[in-house]
Chains A and B, each alone.
Chain A
Amino acid sequence: MMLWLGFSLISLVILNGALNVVKSDDLVHTVFWLALTLLGTAALFVHLDAEFLAAVQVLLYTGGVVTLMLFGVMLTRRVSEVRIVHGTANKVRAIASALAVFGAIVLAVVRDKQTAHAVATDLADTEALGIMVFQDMVLPFELLSLLLLAAMVGAIALARKVDPS
């Protein structure tokens, strides 16, 4: 019962935040609603016994991505245009497509027998996760660091001002 209470509260925070992300007219508000959604997800990770991931979520997403997004918003808008122009023409089609995808996923989840019979299992702690990442998955880990380096170099190369001379 307590688990249901926690799950419902966290779901409420996440879904409310997400709905406001796609509804809000102000881009800065959108970014802050995204921050709330990501924090709610961090809470859900704690609820799901993934404390380390919750910490990573707060540090990388709410700390890094949201800050980056705010920089992006401030660098790309003039003071006069604070509001986002909505594409009202395709709103109905957007809702229909999203609902169709949702229906397909729910149908797949409900009909799957393995999902219905899955039981929550106690997980090993963060130490085991560290051993897994740095021993079994060390190659993907190194590739990922290479990717992040490439992304950083690429972002600097893309966004730097080209000298006209």
Chain B
Amino acid sequence: MNEIFAHPPGLAAYLILAAMLFCIGLYGVFSRKNTLAILISIELMANAVNINFVAFSRFSGDLTGQAFALFSIALTVAEVIIGIAIVILMYRAHKSIDADATTEMSG
């Protein structure tokens, strides 16, 4: 154990932290019924991916990872804009934003 803590945290530590964050987000997507809560959980997962990008960038000495994280953040913002517009539409149509409320397409 002491041997691990003698060195600064390695790439694996950051990757495992990001994996935890990703899986917490995944659990949120699976267990929530509220569409906005699902959208928030997706944010958590996107955030975990950004951590991976930046960690890889740090440990390879190449800035490409950071540039990709920058693009990824902007993409997520676009996704949130459209997602919230859809949620508001859904509220207008069903007076509820539960994922179970939309049953028009189910056979």
Q: Point out residues on A near B: beta carbons under 8 Å.
A: 1, 3-4, 7, 11, 14-15, 18-19, 21-22, 27, 30-31, 34, 37-38, 41, 44-45, 48-50, 52-53, 56-57, 60-61, 64-65, 68-69, 71-73, 75-77, 84-87, 90-91, 93-95, 97-99, 101-102, 105-106, 109-110, 115-116, 118-124, 128-129, 132-133, 137, 140-141, 144, 147-148, 151-152, 154-155, 158-159
Tell me the complex Cα distance, A4–B30, Å: 33
For residue B107, which residues in chain A have a CB less than 8 angstroms away from its CB? none
Q: Point out residues on B near A: beta carbons under 8 Å.
A: 5, 8-17, 19-28, 30-34, 36-37, 39-41, 43-44, 47, 50-51, 54-55, 57-61, 63-64, 66-67, 69-71, 73-82, 84-89, 91, 97-98
Query: Are A56 and B70 interface neighbours, CB within 8 A?
Result: yes
In the complex, which of the residues B16, B23, B39, B60 has the most CB atoms of chain A within 10 Å of its own CB atom? B23
Assuming the contacts A53-B70, A94-B27, A97-B26, asked whether A31 and B40 have C-beta atoms less than 8 A apart, the reply is yes
